Amino acid sequence: MKRSRPPKGGSAYQRLWRVVEGAVADAFAQHPEYLTAVGARGRCARLSVTKRVTGAVLSFAEQSAGGPIRREAARLTEAEALT
């Protein structure tokens, strides 16, 4: 899959764009059924892509910060995540 060009300038935005685009592309490469009508209607595709992007962004943030982000600051409570 060919990478797309970020629509905005800044280097941080471009780096984050590559991280997110890579996570999305990986989700679809590993699960091509998500691109079918049946797969697109299911909750599984949305959750899988969201999980991959969240992990990629968190990893990017930790690397940018020079180390692990404090767990309490990075993790939402279950109630916050459901709202």
The alpha-carbon radius of gyration of the chain (Å, integer) is 15
pLDDT for the residue 79: 46
pLDDT for the residue 68: 64
- What percentage of the chain has pLDDT greater than the value 90? 4
- The boundaries of the domain holding residue 79 are 41-83
Q: What angle do CA 9, 53, 30 make, to 5 degrees?
A: 115
pTM confidence score: 0.65
Token couple for 21: 């685009």
On whether residue 53 sits in a domain, the answer given is yes
Short-list 2, 23, 5, CA closest to 13? 5
**Number of structural domains, the chain?**
1
On whether residue 1 sits in a domain, the answer given is no
Tell me: the pLDDT tens digits for 2-35? 777 777 778 888 888 888 999 989 988 998 998 8
